[in-house]
Chains A and B, each alone.
Chain A
């Protein structure tokens, strides 16, 4: 049978264990609002028994470890879905920012301006002798060009903004991956596996932030280290205790930032390899989405220029020299380097891979011929020399609604107004898709987070009740020690009196 001293010691383990567990409760309460914090639990067990003869006597309680209550796989899933959510958010924000201007269905919208231009020709056809109508037609042409160019520039600005933020986002990503690699090291060298809860929490919250910025795949090694790769799998960001920085450098004809990853001397271009997260969305916006809208504007401008010019031009019967185009590009010649004379002029490129870039920058090159601006009487309303002839004005006005004037998707099938409507629908559909994606992802992420919180989150009521239990345990242990103390007193001081 254990002696009184052993009983005192048993009481002491109780006091210490309750106090340690209370300490854990205090830590949980202190971190109730810490993002990414995982609640901890004191893992108590009964100490080794002491054997005397055939009897096993308990020796009190031992604190084995303090454990974080976490589900590792849930964490990995949350990283993946967070990136998709921020990606959709970012795309939606950018597309809806341009959509109200580009998709203006009112009287100042693109469709109205294009139509007004063609109506200017129709007005001229009613009274080709009238100089005021020519001036008004020029005004409408200028308004249409300015409108198209403003919208084009808006898209350019958005692309520029995206490019600006890519630079700072890359810095943030590199700082996060560096910190994660350091935490990997602290976790890999922990004394008991799984003991360094706070380093894990810190790493989780940093990885959450990383995943919001860039789409990642995270794998946890048996030693507990995170290995992080880009969502496309093209480059490694963190492996073991090493982080590989992304490098942003300006290059290319537009001077935009291109991203590379340098991993052990192998340089990989990852500009198009980041799909999700804020960074992935910004790259996608800059290089694909907004460019697509610009291409549609370019095709519209090219269609208008070629359609109007092919009717408006004057061919010299003797020299076959063509002059007096309505629209003139900044480059002096029409044709290969300037505005197209007709879509059919470049049939080889129509269905080829070059069609999307064929008319690149057409909007910015569009301008009314300077000769016509200086002398509006050069606008030819008729085919012949007589002043009342309105056949050309009529033909150009009819182009406004004719089909097959704008090349879209490689074939010249759309009319001008339907090309604008297609752009509006395209914008709207994309905005709607990203919005739906964003709210679906948000629901998913928040469901996953609730699941994570349900396992790992701190509930104050629960902590309060634990605290109460532990307090009682502590009081009981203290009472036990006091009883043993009285027994000892009995034995030492009162015995034999």
Chain B
């Protein structure tokens, strides 16, 4: 016995198939024109969440890269200042060897230069005064060589859970240690320079000798500071490289999830076009054929 097929069933079935095809075509059309594989989360919830997750990580890393740039900027400024100080101290060493009182004006000029270096500003902030960035670290009219800043480190987040300090404090660099008064440490640079000027002016060899020892100790301290700054910079650079690589692979993963697979989408679209035109022509034929046509 054959299965009865009502006239309405045939039409409904063809119509339903046609609509399903058109729905798929619309979806693929949107994928092709937008370039996005997922138009709304319902098409692939896991994929949508993954895109979001990758996007979050990429954004966070990009932000960390920006932070690294700012940290590097501060560290480079500090490095330049300390470098300047190192050159000045070496010149002072030469002047001490010459032992001439004629060098006194130059020694005094270098002292002023060193003070200026200690008061270096970057983006309007004093970089050697801890978190008291609006206070000049040295150069108080009453006590020009007393440190006016504080001992705080300024940290920046450069990776999840990783902080890097972007500053050195003025007492650490120029007075030979944190929280020390002028002259308290053998490596106090300003005291050594002042001693040198006095010794040269008075022709006092013993004082010049003390000053030279102080200058050597201060130079060692400055070089240690340079090494510290260089070490931080190197750490930041390797972090920058690895974050950059990490971002590149994350972006590749995100694109995998997000971007339309054009060959597949276009294949499906073409396939559906064929199905659509076949369905339409079948519909047209089926609706035409009827027994009534053949009855006289």
Which residues from A are CB-within-8-Å of B49?
A: 421-422, 424-425, 428
Interface residues on chain B, number (Cβ under 8 Å) = 56
Which residues from A are CB-within-8-Å of B243?
A: none
A457/B8 contact (C-beta < 8 A), A384-B131, A388-B133, A417-B56 known: yes
Name 22 interchain pairs, CB-CB below 8 A, sorted by A: A95-B42, A105-B258, A111-B52, A111-B56, A119-B63, A127-B123, A130-B123, A382-B131, A386-B133, A386-B152, A387-B133, A388-B133, A417-B56, A421-B53, A422-B49, A424-B48, A454-B6, A458-B6, A459-B4, A461-B290, A464-B291, A465-B291
Give Cα A218 to B5, complex, Å.
Answer: 27
Give Cα A165 to B40, complex, Å.
Answer: 25
Within 8 A of A (CB), among B262-292: 290-292
Q: Are B157 and A454 in contact (CB under 8 A)?
A: no
Which residues from A are CB-within-8-Å of B163?
A: 394
Asked if B33 lies at the interface with its beta carbon under 8 angstroms from chain A, I say no
Stretch from B9-17, B82-90, B100-108, B202-210 forming part of the interface with A: B9-17
Give Cα A232 to B3, complex, Å.
Answer: 36
Within 8 A of B (CB), among A324-367: none
Asked if A450 lies at the interface with its beta carbon under 8 angstroms from chain B, I say yes
Within 8 A of A (CB), among B39-68: 39-46, 48-49, 51-53, 55-56, 59-60, 63, 66-67
**B153-194 interface bits toward A, Cβ cutoff 8 Å, 1 = contact, 0 = none:** 011110011010000000000000000000000000000000
Which residues from B are CB-within-8-Å of A129?
A: 124-125, 133-134
Which residues from B are CB-within-8-Å of A100?
A: 39-41
A428/B44 contact (C-beta < 8 A), A386-B131, A454-B4, A464-B295 known: yes
Give Cα A464 to B295, complex, Å.
Answer: 8
Interface of A toward B, CB cutoff 8 Å: 32-33, 39, 92, 95-96, 99-100, 103, 105, 109, 111-112, 115, 119, 122-123, 125-127, 129-130, 382, 384, 386-391, 394, 397-398, 400-401, 417, 420-422, 424-425, 427-432, 435, 442, 446, 449-450, 453-462, 464-465, 467-468
Q: Are B59 and A119 in contact (CB under 8 A)?
A: yes
Q: Are B157 and A394 in contact (CB under 8 A)?
A: yes
Interface of B toward A, CB cutoff 8 Å: 3-9, 12-13, 16, 38-46, 48-49, 51-53, 55-56, 59-60, 63, 66-67, 70-71, 123-125, 129-134, 150, 152, 154-157, 160-161, 163, 258, 290-292, 295
Q: Are B59 and A115 in contact (CB under 8 A)?
A: yes
Which residues from A are CB-within-8-Å of B42?
A: 92, 95-96, 99, 427-428, 430-432, 435
